Structure 1
Amino acid sequence: MTTTVTVIGGPTALLELGGLRILTDPTFDPPGDYPAGPLTLTKTAGPALSPADVGRVDLVLLSHDQHPDNLDRLGRRTMAAAPLTLSTFEAAARTGATPMHPWQHYDVGRIRVTAVPALHGPPGCEPIVGQVIGFVLTGDGSPTVYVSGDNASLGCVQLIATRFPAVDIALLFGGAVRTPMIEDRLTLNAVEMAVAARLLNARHVVPLHVEGWSHFTEGQEDVRAAFSEAGLDHLLASPVPGRPLLLMPV
């Protein structure tokens, strides 16, 4: 069984799996400045595809709704047009998404979506950054796919690996994000992404959310260098934005 991944930009990708068209953290707004509470975040690159280009969406996986680099204005419209969005309880209260706690599952067609833990910064950061979750997708005859969301915790990755010991495709959010509100990083850095890939026993890794915003401190080159240093560069799948890439468990 194969699956197709189309990188759109930032945290947004279209995953075609088990007959479903699944969109991660929808962001489609143009470059510019966007308010995020007391901060202003600057988007430096637009999406490779518009919502019209993407077409039908069966399911949206929303790691969180409180930051414009993970859900923006056009992304909200796209999400509203989809028949189902899965997210945190906080996001559900604000957006109408279907809420999930970590380790809950929700069956959509032939695919089981399991919510998994994520931590958007150092321990204790939740009162500032809010709830975040990731997702693992499984199904008979389908590859196992992990969507990390904005996660900075390798401890969370280790917990996920104990329940899902072999991940075929890992969509890992990185960028080593920093903002003035929290001193520590809010997402994995490139070296930690390589460690996460090893913990997950991943067969393919698609880096997401590693470029396009000024508050990211690392990019694709850092990811490639870290995976090469770890001897894992053969795992990296870096699709041309906007073009579907067919991935297959090996």
Structure 2
Amino acid sequence: MEMRYVGGPTAVLKIGGVRLLTDPTFDPPGDYPIGQRVLTKTGGPAFGPDEAGPVDAVLLSHDHHPDNLDRAGRAYLAAAPLVLSTASAAERVGPPVRALPNWDHVELPRPDGGVLRITGVPAQHGPDGSEHLVGEVTGFALSGDGLPTVYVSGDNASLDVVRAIASRVGPVDVAVLFAGAARTPLVEGANLTLAADDVVEAAGLLGARHVVPLHFEHWAHFSQGRDTLAAALAPLGDRARLLAPGERITLS
């Protein structure tokens, strides 16, 4: 698996010859309204959609927050052959967004003649009982013969959800975990994504050989950033990879 970090929740993945993009965000820094609130973007992407290039599918955790799908990201979706997301996103955005319910899967052809299986998995964008406030979100599990098993969490804040996924698809080779302990007045005092210590615990629950955090910087509503994550991940040693914007890595 090859991975290149764009910024925020956005990364280009290449696994088994299939190219994927997570939560497209390519807009510059600035204020982005969301209902009666505003989210402030503090840093831009390391590269734009042209350099990201075409992909076989986009993995979209949800469409209704601008830190996961922005204006340039929506333009990118329009040219994508397939976007996998929630039923709510499919209804709001329309084609090429396709709902991928929890534990359902699609199979994409690989250049070697095999397939990459993409399975929808649960995600919870806040504490128990906040779903009516934060909206529907999803995560993904990637697998295939001879390929590493990869978990992409999306905006998930629940370790109970991680436990449920670990029981179905674990152990995983690569855990791509959205972190940053995001907080907004929408759910006062509660994390909307994993805190740094949760990332470490999730890695253990999943039996992950590699841990790659995303979505922990470039927005003002993250309560924890790169330094906090680096300190928490230090005991994991080489298992954890905290990428710099634009950095490319290969994991196996």
TM-score, reference length from structure 1: 0.96
Contact 1:13 1:24 in 2 (8 A): yes
1:12-42, Cα deviation, whole Å (9 max, x unpaired)? 0000011111000000000000011121000
The reply to whether residue 127 of structure 1 matches residue 99 of structure 2 is no
CA distance in 1, matches of 2:233, 2:27: 31
- 1:126 CA displacement: 1.3
Q: What are the ranges of 5 or more consecutive residues in structure 2 without an aligned counterpart?
A: 110-114
- Choose the corresponding residue for 1:4, options 2, 5, 18: 2
Contact 2:3 2:248 in 1 (8 A): yes
SS in 2 for 1:167: coil
- 1:171 CA displacement: 0.7
Equivalent residue, structure 1, for 2:102: 102
Aligned ranges 1:206-225 → 2 under 5 Å: 206-225=212-231
1:116-155, Cα deviation, whole Å (9 max, x unpaired)? 0000001111111110000000001111111000000000
Contact 1:28 1:72 in 2 (8 A): yes
- 1:56 CA displacement: 1.4
What amino acid is the match of 1:89? A
Aligned identity (percent) is: 56
Q: What are the ranges of 5 or more consecutive residues in structure 1 without an aligned counterpart?
A: none
CA distance in 1, matches of 2:221, 2:237: 26
Equivalent residue, structure 2, for 1:174: 179
CA distance in 2, matches of 1:171, 1:30: 24
Contact 1:137 1:145 in 2 (8 A): yes
CA distance in 1, matches of 2:172, 2:227: 24
Equivalent residue, structure 2, for 1:64: 62
- Choose the corresponding residue for 2:24, options 23, 26, 43: 26
CA distance in 1, matches of 2:150, 2:122: 15
Equivalent residue, structure 2, for 1:237: 241
SS in 1 for 2:250: strand
CA distance in 2, matches of 1:81, 1:7: 21
Question: How many pairs are equivalent?
Answer: 244
Contact 1:59 1:85 in 2 (8 A): yes
- 1:79 CA displacement: 1.2
Contact 1:44 1:213 in 2 (8 A): yes
CA distance in 2, matches of 1:216, 1:118: 18
- 1:233 CA displacement: 2.9
What amino acid is the match of 2:62? H
